[in-house]
Homo-oligomer: A and B are copies of this chain.
C-alpha cells in the first residue's frame, strides 16, 4: 500500500481571516457558502476561516454551525465580538439589530460585513457610517452587503458604463418584482412588521435596486417622487413561529405595517431620469430585478432571473446591423470569471456571496476602502427616507439629503 503524501498546505501559510457570523437564516446560509468556497476558487491574500456562528437558540445554532461548517457557536453576539480570535464580524440579522451589532463590532476593532439595508433608520445609518469612517482610519474595513453588485453581468455593466460606452445617461429604469405575497393567506412574518423590518418591499427590494442603479449609473439620485401601497392589510399570524406570540394570537390575524409595493421616479444628479418599482405582488415574477440604462451612445439591460446574461446595444453600430446583443457573461475576461468554469458554464445566485467575500478579503488585506461602504449604505438609506417622505406628502418631489 502506498504511503499517503501529505499536502504541504501553502494555503495554511497565508494569514487567516477569522470570521464570526451573526444569524444563520437565508442570508447566513448564503454567506456561509460564500466563506466556505471563496478560498477554494480565488487566490486570496488571506485565508478565510469560519471561526464562529452566533444565534440565540443554543441547540439550533450548534446544529447550524455544524451544518454550515463553522468551527464554534455562540449564543450572544456580544460574546462573539469579545473574542480575540475573531477578525471580522458578518452581520446577517434583520435590520433592527444592525446598528447595535455593527457599532459594537467596530468599537471592538473588528472588520465588519453588514447585510442590507444598512439600518432601519437614517439616524442609525449615519452613526454606522461615522463609526466605519473612524474605524477605517484605524485600519478596519466595513462593507454593506449589496451583493447584486457582484453578479458578473452587473459588474461588467458597471465596467462598461465606466468606460464611457453609454455616454450621457438619459434613463435608468429598474424593477424588482416578486410574488410571494399574492396569496392573502400568506402569514404575517417578521418581514411584514415595521418594528423589525423597518419597511416592506422598499427596504427589502427597493434598497437593492437603489444601490444597483446608483452604482451602475456612477452617480446619486438627487430627488424622488413616490407612491407606496399595502394591498392586504391584515394577515393570519404565523403558527408557532416568531418569539413572543401566544398560542391564542397564533390563530388570529395581525396588521401588516409595511408597504407591499413602492413605486418612485427620480432624477439623477446629471439630469437623467429614473423609475423604480419594488413589489411582492407581481404574480409569476419570482426574482425579476431588471435594470436598463439608456445613454446617448448605448444601452444596457439586465434581468436577475437570467443572471448570466447582459444585453448591450452599441449605438455606434451601423443601423442595419445594430441590435441588443446578449452577452453570455461567462468568459474569462468578464469580472470574476477567470476563476470559474469554461465559457457558457453559468453561475448562480450564491456566487454573488463568494465574490463579495473575495472583494472583502482583498480590502481587508490591502487596507483599501471597501465598496459598497457604510457611507454608500447610508446614502441608499437617505434615498429610501426621501421615498417614504414623498409617499407621505402626496408624492411631492423630495430631494435626497446630502
Interface positions of A (Cβ within 8 A of B): 1-12, 26, 30, 32-33, 36-37, 40, 52, 58, 61-63, 65-76, 78-80, 82-84, 156, 160, 166, 170-171, 173, 175, 177-180, 182, 225-227, 229, 231, 261, 263-267, 271, 273, 275, 277, 279, 281-288, 292, 294-299, 304-308, 312-315, 319-328, 330-331, 333-334, 341-351, 390, 394-397
Q: Which residues of chain B have C-beta atoms less than 8 A from A11's C-beta?
A: 66-67
Given contacts A283-B315, A325-B322, contact A66 B171 (CB under 8 A): no
Report 6 cross-chain contacts, Cβ distance below 8 Å, ordered by A residue. A33-B37, A170-B279, A282-B294, A307-B346, A320-B333, A347-B349
Name the prevailing secondary structure of the A interface residues. Answer: mixed
CA distance A255 to B131 in the complex (A): 51
Choice from B33, B298, B326 contacting A323 with Cβ under 8 Å = B326
Given contacts A294-B285, A346-B348, contact A273 B229 (CB under 8 A): yes
Tell me which of A74, A160, A175, A308 has the highest count of chain B C-beta atoms within 10 A of its own C-beta. A308
Choice from B79, B83, B156, B283 contacting A297 with Cβ under 8 Å = B283
CA distance A108 to B125 in the complex (A): 62
List 5 additional contacts besides A286-B344, A320-B334; criterion CB under 8 Å.
Answer: A4-B83, A6-B73, A182-B296, A227-B397, A324-B326
CA distance A335 to B40 in the complex (A): 27
| Contact present for A227 and B273 (CB under 8 Å) | yes
* Minimum Cβ distance to chain B for residue A319 (Å): 5
CA distance A351 to B346 in the complex (A): 10
| Contact present for B350 and A82 (CB under 8 Å) | no
CA distance A180 to B326 in the complex (A): 18
